[in-house]
Structure 1
Amino acid sequence: MTATDPALTALAQGWCALSLLHGRIEAHIERALQAEHDLSVREYSLLDVLSRQHDGEGGHLQMKQVADAVVLSQSATTRLVTRLEDRGLLSRYLCPTDRRGIYTNVSEAGLELLARARPTNDTALREALDEAAGNPELAPLVRVVESASVPAPA
């Protein structure tokens, strides 16, 4: 394949469209969450991921797993956890079976903020997708995102 190969050109155009869609969605959600709840998209995502933990086997995430889930480096995730902990939205504690491990839980205040922010996030996502659907370059990607969110028949 050469740099002028039509398949590579189409692939690059597809990647550009996907990147554009992601950027538009994230920016729209960011504005809404900041305005209504003083939360960034990353903060919201972190609260959401951590709120899904449970006390059962494998129910608590290690920092690397959290970092992977919110698509940040481990150091950036640790800084984000510290900021939210300073705001009283998270708490950290030592793993009872491995003193080297540190777990993070969402506090009551964090759960309440997440519950208030979830409808804002969902509405902003829907608005961003609806706006992007009007762009012929992005409309096929919007349809893929929307079809991925429909549960498969049982």
Structure 2
Amino acid sequence: MPQYTLPQCPEIVLTVPGKDSAKAREKAMDQLMQLMDEGKLPTELEDGFSSEQLVEVKEVSMDTTGEDAITQAVQILNNLATLKLKVQESRGEALEVRKAVDILFSDQSVTEEEITRLKEGFKVLKNFAQANLRYQEARAKAEQARQVLDQALKSPEK
């Protein structure tokens, strides 16, 4: 059964039988009109309102026993592994470029060649830093994925 809400009033949820369709949205509009007639709608729809403006509410669930959750958990862990490799491979080169950045803050003179090499190294630094941030974010998500897999791999108690 589809559920709809109003952008102006997300706490109102209108549930109708069937699946998302023009007919279902019209039924939701009937419910909305009834709420308005009863004075139970906490907002005014001054500019009018149409069924196309209804927002379908989709339930997002992490069913820890479902195959979809397991598949998603494996994909998350696979992404973490890929990002970890990328970070490890680029860390050494990024640290070398980072050391070279210090020359910009010294009084020692630099050649145009050193500056050109340094500018090329900025791309390495940027790529490493972005990959490292993505890795840190993925690692946080992967904790939950690991728990999903641990739960799925538990042997039944005897």
TM-score when scaled to structure 2? 0.29
TM-score when scaled to structure 1? 0.30
Q: Which has the larger radius of gyration?
A: 2
